[in-house]
Structure 1
Amino acid sequence: MKLYNLKDKNEKVNFSKAIKLGLGRKQGLFFPVDLPKINIKEIEKLLKMDFITRSSNILEYLIGDEIDKYELHNHVKKAFLFSPPKLVKITNNIACFELFHGPTLAFKDFGARFMAHVLSYLNQNGNNKIITVLTATSGDTGAAVAHAFYGMKNIRVVILYPKGKISELQEKLFCTLGKNIKTIAINGSFDECQQLVKKCFNDEILKNNIGLNSANSINISRLLAQICYYFEAFALIAPEKRKKIVISVPCGNFGNLTAGLLAKSLGLSITSFIASTNANDTVPRFLRTGQWKPNPTISTISNAMDISQPNNWPRVEELFYRKKWDLKKLGFGSVSDYDTKNTLLELKKLGYISEPHAAIAYKLLKNQLKDNQFGLFLGTAHPAKFKKTVENILDITLPLPKILADRADLPLLSYNMLPNFSKLRKFLLDI
């Protein structure tokens, strides 16, 4: 698999190099040189396979022979060794595609675990040097990455997150592990955390001395793994409903939407997508006005989407350009906290307990779906991860899944830091 740097198209690397580097020169994202398309007959065969086998085939098709197919299948099997996604009917023409049945109860388990297994494998088959995985999280990435890499030899993880701006249970899930997992509560916004990560990747001494890598959705391995569950969604939908599929994606850093668009590029017959955001509406305003004007980040009850400068948007634009798709046909919208709360109540009346991120995707899907279409909205996290918020809005008591209950009373092991690059740099060089 060949990839090029979106900010320096002369820089071209293979998949192994891209996963190890994370970012290219000038903090550029890597993007596939080839955009293959699977024919209809092959897709029909794929949809009849079990989730693991199908995912292995899709990833082999994308990555090529850089990783032996038996090794790749083994890594996919280990990475996705948890309950597969579920399709839950909400109305006659809308269903929730639940992606939160993994070990940290969020969709990011798929990408983070695949990356962890493949990166560890490539490192062991290379020089087996120390790798430092540095990532920023607005909530769920941190837990998925921390648990995916926990205890792995020669890999240490440093996670930055905005202090006081993720849910208490989200924080407990990844800030209580210790060992090779270091967590830093930054007194600022997620965008400031993300800027610190980018500055680190611009520092040649850091990159060379600590083996810097990123596990955000900027790492191409995570995006490739996420493509797989879009195929699973189609496999779960009755064949007669597959012709007019609209998928509403809760968007923060826009990696999940990018993966869905790549699945469409591969040949999955998705009619359209809806980019669903909260009040941090940089992309909806851009699609409406043509002007890219990020506002200061606003804290909302859908905190994992509190991002004003989404990293993956350049990949979305590049894909639309390469495929000659019309960006004006991408659905979009933003939802206030007030409307999010009312939507959670609406879903409860329909017999479904959700959480704020999925509720936003549902509201925009319901508003934009046409009569002859079938809609999916992505359930990206378990409601219990936002226990207090959901309980207060819906006036219910949510039982805690075991993984959350086991960590709820453990002490936080996080360091506290101002959004200061010099201090972070020293921390990274000293660990």
Structure 2
Amino acid sequence: MKLYNLKNRKEIVNFSQAIKLGLGQQQGLFFPLEFPKINTNDLNKLLEMDFITRSSTILSYFIGDEINKYELTKRVKSAFSFTLPKLVQVTHNISCFELFHGPTLAFKDFGARFMSQMLSYFNQDENNKLITILTATSGDTGAAVAHAFYRMNNVRVIILYPKGKISELQEKLFCTLGKNITTIAINGSFDECQTLVKKAFNDTELKKNIGLNSANSINISRLLAQICYYFEAFALIPNKNRKNIVISVPCGNFGNLTAGLLAKSMGLPISSFIAATNANDTIPRLLKTGIWQPNPTISTISNAMDISQPNNWPRVEELFLRKHWELNKLGFGSVSDLETKDTLIELKKIGYISEPHAAIAYKLLREKLTDNQFGLFLGTAHPAKFKNTVENILNIILPVPKILKNLHNSHLLSYNMRPNFSKLRNFLLDT
């Protein structure tokens, strides 16, 4: 598999190099040089496979001979060794595709665990040298990455997150582990956390000294893993509803949407997508006006989407350009906190308990879906991860999954830091 750097197209790497580098020169994102194409006959065969076999096959289209099929299947099976996504009917023509049944109750378990398997595999070729994973999280990435790499030999993980701007249970999921997991609460926004990570990757000396890598959705391995569950969603949809499918994606860093669009580019017959955001509406405004003008990040009840400068957007634009798709055909919209609360109440009345991020995707899907279409909205996190918010809005008591119950008496192990790169740099070199 060959990938090129979106900021320096002369920089071309293979899959293993892209995983280990994370970002290319000038902080550029890596993107596939060629898109695999699946014909109708092969697609039908894929849809009949079990999830692990299908996922291994899809990933092999991208990875090629860098990993043999037996080893890849073994790694995929290890990465996706948890409860599969579920398709839950909400209305007569709308279902929720629940991606939150993994070990940290969020869709990011797929990408993080696959990345950990790939890094482990390729690091064998370099005598298992020390790798430092530096990543920023607006909520769910932190937990998924921490648990995916927890106790892994020769890997240390450092996670930055905006202090006081993620839910208590989200924080406890990854800030109580210790061992090879270090967490830093930054007194600022997620975008400031993300900027610190980018500056670290732009520091050649730092990268070399600590073996720097990133587990954000900027890492291509995470993105490829997420393609797999779009095929699973399609396989679960009844044949009668497969002709005109619309998928609404809660968007923060836009990696999830990018993965869905890559699935479509391969030949998965998804009619259209909706990019659903909260009040941090940089992309909806861009699609309306053609002007890129990020505003300061606003804290909302859908905190994992509190991102004003989404990293993966250049990949979305590149994909539309190369496929000759019209960007104005991408559905979009932003939803306020008040509207999100009303939607959660609406969903409860029709018998479905959700959480703020999925509620945003549902609201925009319901508004834009036509009578001849079938809609999916992605459930990206378990409602219990936002227990206080959901319970207060819906006036209910949520049952708490076992993994969250065990966290109540756990103590946070996080450091605190201002969004100062010099301080972070010294911390990375000294710890």
Same fold (TM over 0.5): yes
Q: Which residue of 1 aligns with 2:293?
A: 293
Quick one: percent identity of the two aligned structures? 79
The CA distance in 1 between the partners of 2:117 and 2:409, in whole Å, is 29
Q: Which residue of 2 aligns with 1:188?
A: 188
Q: Which residue of 2 aligns with 1:308?
A: 308
SS in structure 1 at match of 2:3:
strand
Q: Which residue of 1 aligns with 2:40?
A: 40
Q: Which residue of 1 aligns with 2:395?
A: 395
**CA apart distance, 1:125:** 2.7
Deviating 4+ runs (over 6 angstroms) = none
Q: Which residue of 1 aligns with 2:340?
A: 340
The CA distance in 1 between the partners of 2:412 and 2:405, in whole Å, is 15
**CA apart distance, 1:62:** 1.2
The CA distance in 2 between the partners of 1:276 and 1:85, in whole Å, is 20
Opposite residue 152 of structure 1, the aligned amino acid is M
Q: Which residue of 2 aligns with 1:107?
A: 107
The CA distance in 2 between the partners of 1:71 and 1:346, in whole Å, is 46
The CA distance in 2 between the partners of 1:71 and 1:326, in whole Å, is 39
The CA distance in 1 between the partners of 2:113 and 2:100, in whole Å, is 14
Q: Which residue of 2 aligns with 1:12?
A: 12
Q: Unaligned stretches of 5+ in structure 2? A: none
**CA apart distance, 1:399:** 1.5
TM superposition score normalised by structure 1: 1.00
The CA distance in 2 between the partners of 1:421 and 1:126, in whole Å, is 29
How far does the alpha carbon of each residue in 1:209-236 deviate from its partner, in whole angstroms, 9 at most, with x for none?
Answer: 0000000000000000000000000010
**Bigger shift: 121-130 or 360-369?**
121-130
**CA apart distance, 1:35:** 1.1
Q: Unaligned stretches of 5+ in structure 1? A: none
**CA apart distance, 1:205:** 1.1
Q: Which residue of 1 aligns with 2:280?
A: 280
Opposite residue 330 of structure 1, the aligned amino acid is L
Matched, 1:258 2:258: yes
TM superposition score normalised by structure 2: 1.00
Opposite residue 344 of structure 1, the aligned amino acid is L
Opposite residue 253 of structure 2, the aligned amino acid is N
**CA apart distance, 1:86:** 0.1
SS in structure 2 at match of 1:222:
helix
Q: Which residue of 1 aligns with 2:426?
A: 426
The CA distance in 2 between the partners of 1:42 and 1:150, in whole Å, is 37
The CA distance in 1 between the partners of 2:409 and 2:86, in whole Å, is 30
The CA distance in 2 between the partners of 1:408 and 1:222, in whole Å, is 30
Counterparts of 1:196-211 in structure 2, within 5 Å, are 196-211=196-211
The CA distance in 1 between the partners of 2:255 and 2:198, in whole Å, is 17
Opposite residue 288 of structure 2, the aligned amino acid is R
How far does the alpha carbon of each residue in 1:215-260 deviate from its partner, in whole angstroms, 9 at most, with x for none?
Answer: 0000000000000000000010011211100000000000000000
The CA distance in 1 between the partners of 2:105 and 2:377, in whole Å, is 17
SS in structure 2 at match of 1:157:
strand
**CA apart distance, 1:117:** 0.9
**CA apart distance, 1:277:** 0.1
How far does the alpha carbon of each residue in 1:373-415 deviate from its partner, in whole angstroms, 9 at most, with x for none?
Answer: 0000000000000000000000000121111111221000000
Aligned-residue RMSD, C-alpha: 0.5
The CA distance in 1 between the partners of 2:141 and 2:232, in whole Å, is 22
Q: Which residue of 2 aligns with 1:162?
A: 162
The CA distance in 1 between the partners of 2:277 and 2:305, in whole Å, is 7
Q: Which residue of 2 aligns with 1:88?
A: 88
**CA apart distance, 1:126:** 2.4
SS in structure 2 at match of 1:41:
helix
The CA distance in 2 between the partners of 1:68 and 1:424, in whole Å, is 39
Opposite residue 152 of structure 2, the aligned amino acid is M
SS in structure 1 at match of 2:271:
strand
Opposite residue 319 of structure 2, the aligned amino acid is L
The CA distance in 2 between the partners of 1:124 and 1:406, in whole Å, is 34
Q: Which residue of 1 aligns with 2:74?
A: 74
How far does the alpha carbon of each residue in 1:157-199 deviate from its partner, in whole angstroms, 9 at most, with x for none?
Answer: 0000000000000000000000000000000000000000000
Opposite residue 206 of structure 2, the aligned amino acid is L
Counterparts of 1:127-276 in structure 2, within 5 Å, are 127-276=127-276
The CA distance in 2 between the partners of 1:145 and 1:413, in whole Å, is 16
The CA distance in 1 between the partners of 2:289 and 2:28, in whole Å, is 25
The CA distance in 2 between the partners of 1:407 and 1:74, in whole Å, is 31
Opposite residue 112 of structure 2, the aligned amino acid is A
How far does the alpha carbon of each residue in 1:15-54 deviate from its partner, in whole angstroms, 9 at most, with x for none?
Answer: 0000000000000000000012100110100000110110
The CA distance in 2 between the partners of 1:124 and 1:66, in whole Å, is 13
SS in structure 2 at match of 1:270:
coil
Q: Which residue of 2 aligns with 1:366?
A: 366
The CA distance in 2 between the partners of 1:56 and 1:35, in whole Å, is 16
**How many aligned positions are there?**
431
The CA distance in 1 between the partners of 2:261 and 2:408, in whole Å, is 37
Opposite residue 387 of structure 2, the aligned amino acid is K
